[in-house]
């Protein structure tokens, strides 16, 4: 198949998704509230800059010039960004220079080697630059591991709340709360790669198993303690995998939103990744060798099947969130989990998958912030340089509709 056809397909998907003022969700009899020039209530176009915003500042790494990176983000139509606030480090000593070990050396998020960082005042400087451009900031954390493993001091829900309260104080003292969109207390809870300090019950239930009694108790206690200190800030933990239908069954009323991460590659028990032979290797090139060898073929052989799998999952997520009366935010999505500029890899299949996901999510009215992928950052050159692609999808997001019952929630007035 000629690769130029991918571009045509993406354009077609974007055209089909040009949601206007009369958009009505296909699974709802209630007219949605679409964005217009007079009514600017609309989902935000959000991206994930994780810990890269602070770590990737060597020449050519993408974030060495924040003004340039943020201006380019605005040019592409994004008006929100989710970043790591490094709360375990800020609460310990916001001014210290910390030595961090690498999470991996094959991915282009963060540093591929040991690196030194100082979080404050750089965190506040970055947030202020976002505010200057009307870019809202979602705070999260991947609990980066410094050489002393400071994160292992988080031995209770109260301690989790404490580190966030101390971190938020450094931001509030700088009068920057008006730039904060929401706070995600831990990325993809309770995945052991991000929160090794928490042992679930049973202990083998890590990534995706947020619904256990022990996990629910920990999340609820920590969220309520942070909310007591900062009631104006929307709070949550972010999730991936698992069973999204449980959002409508478990009591997550102590959240202000649900942040769910979703990729074709992980659906149906990692069917796509298994077919490709990708096993999330962090320090071996074998996973990328298999992506080069198999990813495009696996996608093209059953393209419509993969698209339907994604649309069906988005329907489940939206329906469960609607049942829970919770708005959704997704910052990591919609096609392949791991990808980068690499010999033999083709960004066009990722773009096409993600365009399908953006359109499907926007049509539900349940999302109040939607990402185009988890590669919308300057270090992913092949994706980043296609300005027209980003603008088509961010325009789609920002012209789409939101369920009226979500707009009526007081906390959502801050989120939207």
State pLDDT tens for residues 112-138: 999 999 999 999 999 999 999 999 999
In terms of residue numbers, what domain contains 168? Answer: 4-415
Residue 68 neighbours by CB under 8 Å, 6+ apart: none
**pLDDT tops 70 at residue 376:** yes
Which residue is associated with the tokens 């696996």?
Answer: 298
What average pLDDT does range 278-298 have in this prediction? 98
Strands 401-402 and 33-34: antiparallel
> Following DSSP, what letter does each residue of 67-133 receive, concatenated?
HHHHHHHHHTT--EEEEE--HHHHHH-TTSEEEE--S-SSSSSS-SS-EEEE-TTHHHHHHHHHHHT
Reduced to 3 states (helix: H, G, I; strand: E, B; else coil), residue 115 is strand
Instruction: Provide the number of structural domains found in the chain.
Output: 1
What average pLDDT does range 232-255 have in this prediction? 96
Domain with residue 321: its CATH number is 3.20.20.80
Q: Report pTM.
A: 0.92
Contact 81, 138 (CB under 8 A): yes
Q: How far is CA 225 from CA 95, 161, 228, 334, in A?
A: 25, 6, 5, 33
- Separation CA 376–CA 208 (nearest Å): 24
Residue 146 is given by DSSP the state B
Dihedral sign from CA coordinates of 391, 369, 362, 258: positive
Query: Percentage of residues in the chain with pLDDT exceeding 70?
Result: 90
Which phi and psi (to 5°) does residue 32 adopt? -85, 160
Reduced to 3 states (helix: H, G, I; strand: E, B; else coil), residue 82 is strand
Encode pLDDT of 159-201 as tens digits.
Answer: 999 999 999 999 999 999 999 999 999 999 999 999 999 999 9
Q: Is the peptide bond before 346 cis (omega within 30 degrees of 0)?
A: no
Strands 136-140 and 80-84: parallel
**pLDDT tops 70 at residue 30:** no
- Separation CA 351–CA 6 (nearest Å): 9
């Amino acid at each position: 198949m000629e690769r130029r056809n991918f571009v045509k397909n993406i354009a077609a998907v974007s055209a089909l998704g040009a949601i206007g003022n009369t958009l009505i969700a296909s699974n709802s009899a209630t007219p949605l509230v679409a964005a217009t020039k007079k009514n600017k209530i609309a989902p935000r176009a959000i991206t994930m800059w994780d810990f890269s915003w602070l770590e990737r500042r060597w020449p050519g790494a993408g974030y060495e010039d924040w003004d340039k990176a943020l201006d380019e983000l605005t040019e592409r139509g994004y008006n929100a960004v989710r970043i790591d606030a490094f709360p375990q480090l800020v609460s310990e000593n916001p001014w210290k220079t910390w030595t961090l070990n690498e999470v991996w050396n094959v991915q282009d998020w963060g540093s591929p080697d040991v690196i030194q960082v100082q979080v404050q005042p750089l965190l506040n400087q970055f947030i202020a630059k976002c505010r200057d451009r009307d870019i809202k900031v979602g705070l999260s954390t991947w609990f980066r591991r410094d050489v002393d493993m400071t994160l292992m001091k988080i031995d209770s829900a109260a301690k989790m709340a404490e580190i966030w309260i101390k971190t938020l104080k450094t931001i509030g003292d700088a009068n920057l709360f008006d730039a904060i969109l929401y706070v995600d207390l831990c990325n993809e809870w309770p995945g052991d790669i991000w929160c090794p300090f928490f042992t679930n019950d049973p202990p083998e239930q890590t990534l995706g198993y947020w619904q256990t009694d022990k996990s629910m108790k920990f999340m609820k206690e920590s969220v309520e303690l942070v909310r007591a200190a900062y009631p104006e800030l929307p709070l949550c933990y972010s999730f991936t995998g698992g069973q999204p239908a449980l959002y409508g069954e478990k009591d997550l009323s102590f959240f202000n939103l649900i942040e769910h991460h979703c990729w074709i590659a992980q659906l149906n028990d990692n069917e796509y990744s298994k077919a490709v032979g990708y096993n999330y290797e962090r320090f071996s090139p074998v996973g990328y060798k298999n992506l080069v060898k198999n990813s495009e073929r696996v996608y093209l052989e059953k393209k419509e099947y993969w698209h339907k799998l994604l649309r069906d999952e988005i329907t489940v997520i939206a329906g469960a969130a609607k049942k829970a009366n919770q708005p959704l935010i997704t910052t990591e999505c919609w096609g392949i989990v791991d990808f980068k500029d690499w010999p033999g890899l083709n960004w066009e299949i990722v773009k096409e998958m993600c365009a399908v996901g953006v359109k499907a999510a926007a049509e539900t009215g349940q999302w109040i912030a939607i990402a185009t992928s988890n590669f919308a950052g300057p270090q992913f050159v092949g994706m980043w340089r296609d300005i027209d692609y980003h603008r088509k999808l961010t325009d789609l997001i920002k012209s789409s509709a939101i369920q009226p019952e979500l707009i009526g929630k007081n906390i959502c007035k801050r989120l939207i």
